Structure formats: structure tokens, C-alpha cells
Amino acid sequence: MRIEEWQPDLSGQPGPKFRALANALREAARSGVLAPGTRLPPMRDLAWRLKVTTGTVARAYQAAAAEGVVESHVGRGSFIAAPRPPRPVPQPLLYESLDHPASQQGPVDLRIAQLPDCGQVRIITAHLAALAGGLDADLLDYMPMSRDQDCRAAALDWMADRPLGPRSVDDLVLTHGGQHAITLVIALCLADRPAQVMTEALTYPGITHAARLMRAQSLPVALDNQGMIPADLDRVARASGARLVCLTPSAQNPTLAGMGPARRAAIVEVARRHDLQVIEDECYAPIPRPDAPPSLRALAPERVWHVTSLSKIVAAGLRFGILICPEGMGQAGRVAAQHSHMGLSLPITGLVTRLMRSGDAARIADLVHAEVGDRLALALDCLAGLDVVWQPGVPMVWLPLRRPWNATDFVARAAAAGAIVRPASDFAVPGAAAPGQGVRIGLNCRMPPERLALALNALGQMARAGPGVGPD
């Protein structure tokens, strides 16, 4: 059938219209009514034909793409995808942005937090040019584990003001970003343990994807306004026998919850009681401050794997992560990294060492924090009167929704209004209790503030008014 002749009936299907349209696309593709490679019409054209909003079609295309029914190509459009292979294909972690931050047209995509442009490219380019002039024949060889020691020392100095407890160069492993570090630890810790990872019931999807990659089951642990609940961690560990837990104590993703000292101590007590290994994901950590509570690694250096990176504070494209291993496990971590990727490239470790030693990494971080602070102030102003949760220096906020709002409906209505955000269900671990009603709003710090303010004001007005007011 030609796409111009396809006219699905959405009237009899339950649930929101975007879901009905996504279901219709899936059935048409599976039945062969729409052949693989069929180009879908522009969202505005299909919305006009079906008498729905453009936002409804955008959400339907996104849902169909997540299921592998539709594939999109920048500059070419969206197409019915070829049938999936028999084995399940892992879902991507990153979205292709639907907006153009510098433009005033199209939707405002707030699904992913975007770092501000503080001149990083110019600074990094200058360091790369200087580095290129000093490369020698070492570039022809593989990287032995000892060759990144200078970069590890620079990274150790970079983190000197963080409450991480005793650590040395020998405790560090350099990775291709925080996601790689988490995957590496899961692989290392599950080698002789039950293939299960305990994590917050709402969590960053990269954790569950990393567990699935290791053929491990993710077990949800309840959380509250301080993050993971120690009593429920005790319950899940006791019932399952799982011995690995991954959590984010300082800026929980997506709820932005932060643990106080007593909660952190209680988590460590449970971890010691059950002999748990702990992954402390601090890639989205707030701005360091003198009165910050001690990290989990400072409290339990014998069992905590601390993960951080430069992605959220300097530049995500560097793909540079830092893993601080438990005491005595650094060599094992570096061997596992060598087994995984044979070590970071010499140009990357050289570049990062230069950025840190010169002070440019710290200066970039200060500029990023300042810009993020301005965007957070803007968000809090636009969302005033609502129960917004935020952390200093973290470019996103969590918006709990008041009754009778449903997060899925809010996201669909927001898309119709031109703002794309993510509901709590996007972060729910399989098997978890029904998530609360809330949305995560990433702050696009490269977007003109006026355009970001329009989107945030629209979200704030919707949240205050309730589902009875706003676009269909």
C-alpha cells in the first residue's frame, strides 16, 4: 500500500492517541501493509490527515522508533524499518535531538541535558595542536597499563577537593566515559556472583542496559526523597542473594534526590551486612562544596567503586571516565579494562593530562557551573510554585506532578505545546512498582534563554492548571 492511501482508524483504541498511532504503525509494518523502506510523511502532513496534533505524531514516531518499527535519518526523514533479527537488539541510550538549539522554530527538546558552550572547542583544539607536535613513535605501540600513570595522577589531583576518602594513583582506572566504567564494574563483579544488579526503582537507563549486556537481571529497590531506601535494599538483597548494587547518592537520576550523611551510613551498613559490592555513580554530582557529605567510597573504601567522568562538566565528546576502585582492586580493574579495550588512546590521555595540568579543565568547569546556575535560576522562576527538585550544577530538574495529572498524558500534551520531556516511566526498572507521576526536564544550555523560557513557562502553566487546560 502507498503511504498516501494508509488511513488508520484511531477512534476505537484505548489510551492516548500517540500510542494508538504507534500501535497502528507497528501492525501495518508487521502485516506488510506498509513495506520496509516506506517513507513516512512529514509529521505536520500526517497530523492534518488524521486530525491530530503534530505533537501526537511526533510522540508516535518516537515510540515506534524505540520499538524498532521506524528508523529516522537526519536530513532524509523517517521510514518503516526492516524486520528485526531474531535476537533482541539493544536500544540506544542517546536520542537524536529533534530541535535546533540556535533556532526559534520546531519543538524544544528537553529530554537530554546539554552542556553550555563555554569555549571548550577552542581550548581543546589548541591543546590537541600542541599535543600533535610532541607525538613520537610510542603511538605505534599498544598502551601498556603503566603508560597512563601520568594521566591517572592528573585525574587524582583534579578530584583532590572531593570527599572520596583515601585514594592513590594505583586505585584509578581510566575508561571511555562513565557508562563504560559502569559496564566494566558489572562485568568484573559478576564474574563469580549471581547475575543480578540491584538499583533504584527509577534509574538512568544506561545502568539497566549495562546489566542486560552482561546478561544480568536488574532488581528494583524502592527510593524516596533521599534516594535508595536502606531497608528495602536489605530486603531485596536478603530475598535475591544479589551481591552488587548500583546507585547515585548525590544527584539521583531522574529524581535529583540527594542522600544526607545518615542515609549514606545506613546504605553502607546494609552493604557490609550482606557483603555487597557498590557502584557509586557520581557522573552528575553537584558542585563540590566544603560541607558536602562523605562519598560512599569514603565510608566504605573496601567495597565501593566510584564512577565519574568529564562528560557532564567539560565535554561529553571526550569520552573520558574515571573509576576509583576499592582498596587493593586497582590492578584488577586495569586488567579488566585492558581485556575490554586495550587501554585509552595515547592522544586522549595526553589531551586530558594537558587539560587538567594547565588548569583549563577547572576553568571550563567553573564556566559550565556558572551557566548551568543561570539556567537553573530560569527554570525555578518559570516553574515557581511547583515541587521542583534540583541540585546545584546539574543541568536538569525533576518535576513531580500533582493530581490528577498522569505523566504520560503530561508528556503528550507538552509535546503538542512544543516541549519534549521524559516521564517517570522512561526510567522505571522492569518489575518495579508503578512509578510516581513526574517528568525529568533537561536544561538545554546551548539554547537561547528566551526560547528555553518559553518552553519552561508552558510546562509550568500546564502543571499548575491541570489536565483540563492546554492543547489536545
49: domain CATH number is 1.10.10.10
418: domain CATH number is 3.90.1150.10
On the question of pLDDT at 84 being above 80, the answer is: no
pLDDT of residue 147: 83
Q: What is the mean pLDDT of residues 361-369?
A: 95
108 domain-assigned: no
Examine residue 404 and say whether the peptide bond preceding it is cis (omega within 30 degrees of 0): yes
pLDDT of residue 215: 87
470 domain-assigned: no
95 domain-assigned: no
Strand pairing report for 321-324 and 172-175? antiparallel
Count of Cβ atoms closer than 10 Å to residue 294 Cβ: 16
Same domain flag for 281 and 190: yes
Same domain flag for 338 and 366: no
Residue after which a domain boundary falls, among 358, 386, 407: 358
CA dihedral sign of residues 61, 62, 68, 71: positive
pLDDT of residue 288: 79
Question: Which residues span the domain enclosing 435?
Answer: 362-465
109 domain-assigned: no
Distance CA(279)–CA(332), nearest Å, equals: 16
On the question of pLDDT at 472 being above 50, the answer is: no
Same domain flag for 354 and 368: no
C-alpha torsion angle, residues 373, 378, 384, 386 (rounded to 10):
-70
pLDDT in tens, 373-406: 999 999 999 999 999 999 999 999 999 999 999 9
Total domains in the fold of the chain:
3
pLDDT in tens, 180-214: 999 999 999 987 777 899 999 999 988 998 898 88
332 domain-assigned: yes
pLDDT of residue 280: 97
Same domain flag for 401 and 339: no
Count of Cβ atoms closer than 10 Å to residue 49 Cβ: 13
Highest-pLDDT range among 27-36, 283-292, 353-362, 424-433: 353-362
Same domain flag for 396 and 435: yes
Same domain flag for 350 and 382: no
Mean residue pLDDT of the chain comes to 89
pLDDT in tens, 225-278: 999 999 999 999 999 999 999 999 999 999 999 999 999 999 999 999 999 999
Same domain flag for 302 and 169: yes
In order of 122, 127, 192, 332, the CA distances from 175 in angstroms are: 24, 20, 23, 14
Count of Cβ atoms closer than 10 Å to residue 130 Cβ: 13
Same domain flag for 425 and 388: yes
Q: What is the mean pLDDT of residues 83-109?
A: 62
311 domain-assigned: yes
Same domain flag for 238 and 139: yes
Same domain flag for 324 and 460: no
Count of Cβ atoms closer than 10 Å to residue 114 Cβ: 19
Highest-pLDDT range among 101-105, 216-220, 464-468: 216-220
Residue after which a domain boundary falls, among 327, 358, 389: 358
On the question of pLDDT at 135 being above 70, the answer is: yes
105 domain-assigned: no
Residue 442 has which C-alpha cell? 533537561
Does residue 248 come out as left (phi exceeding 0), alpha (psi in the -120 to 50 range) or beta?
beta
Same domain flag for 228 and 157: yes
151 domain-assigned: yes
Distance CA(306)–CA(283), nearest Å, equals: 9
Residue after which a domain boundary falls, among 312, 342, 358: 358
Residue 339 has which C-alpha cell? 581485556
Q: Give the DSSP H or E segment for 108.
A: strand 108-109
Distance CA(472)–CA(112), nearest Å, equals: 25
Same domain flag for 209 and 307: yes
177: domain CATH number is 3.40.640.10
DSSP 16: -
Residue 105 has which C-alpha cell? 522554530
pLDDT of residue 95: 59
